[in-house]
A and B are shown apart, each in its own frame.
Chain A
Amino acid sequence: DTGVSQNPRHKITKRGQNVTFRCDPISEHNRLYWYRQTLGQGPEFLTYFQNEAQLEKSRLLSDRFSAERPKGSFSTLEIQRTEQGDSAMYLCALGEAGIYGYTFGSGTRLTVV
């Protein structure tokens, strides 16, 4: 058990549709991160929460993307008006202090057709 549950595992959607992914920490962590990994690449930072506050967003996170972490527990990542370029693995990671190494979830693989 990784300590991070991500749902759904796979999502296929038509271009232009909205999608929402969810990240559920199994135990309490004050830091939560979202990353995106495209085929053949390393994960890229999208955004970071400290408890319920979203403290940093990457330039990769266009205005079609929004993330929330109500009550500092689970988090959701929504993509509006999906594009084929959004096809990727979306990873959630937790860390009490990031320097000790994150715990990653298994990710949600998004395919936009």
Chain B
Amino acid sequence: AQKVTQAQTEISVVEKEDVTLDCVYETRDTTYYLFWYKQPPSGELVFLIRRNSFDEQNEISGRYSWNFQKSTSSFNFTITASQVVDSAVYFCALSEDGSGTYKYIFGTGTRLKVLA
């Protein structure tokens, strides 16, 4: 069965600290896709990144970086030099290829509070 676990319910950091949000997933499919979304207080889900199961390259986008490790079924997200505007709930999600629906299985989210 598919499952996404975000064990960290809430994290608080002081501005300019680095922070890593953990995501562990379970799937039986060999082809699957992993995503991170940001949900600021306004409520809208904002797409951050997609990774497919064939591509284990880490990715960096500005202050954001992602570490995908199939061996540990993890897709962790690091924010470098955090800012107050990074305060939000962050969701990791899994989508499998099998049915063609590409529906997402979301984790329960990690609330990040960045204090000035």
Contacts and interface: CB of A to CB of B under 8 A. Distances in A.
A2 interface: yes
Contacts of A45: 103-105
A97 B43 CA distance: 23
B43 A99 contact: no
Contacts of B109: 40-42
Nearest to A99: B33
Interface string B23-43: 000000000010101000011
B93 A106 contact: no
Size category of the binding interface on chain A: 20 to 34
B44 A101 contact: no
A102 B47 contact: yes
Given A98-B101, A99-B50, A99-B95, A44 B106 contact: yes
Contacts of B42: 106
Given A56-B101, A101-B35, A42 B44 contact: no
Contacts of B44: 2, 104-107
Interface residues of B, number: 26
26 contacts: A2-B44, A33-B103, A35-B104, A40-B108, A42-B4, A42-B93, A42-B108, A43-B91, A45-B105, A48-B103, A55-B101, A95-B102, A98-B33, A98-B102, A99-B33, A99-B50, A99-B95, A102-B45, A102-B104, A104-B37, A104-B46, A104-B47, A106-B43, A106-B44, A107-B44, A109-B43
Given A40-B108, A105-B44, 8 more contacts: A2-B44, A40-B109, A42-B106, A43-B45, A43-B91, A43-B104, A98-B103, A109-B43
Which are the 3 A-B pairs with shortest beta-carbon distances?
Answer: A98-B102, A42-B106, A104-B45
Interface of B: 4, 33, 35, 37, 42-47, 50, 52, 91, 93, 95, 97, 99, 101-109
Interface of A: 2, 31, 33, 35, 40-45, 48, 55-56, 89, 91, 93, 95, 97-107, 109
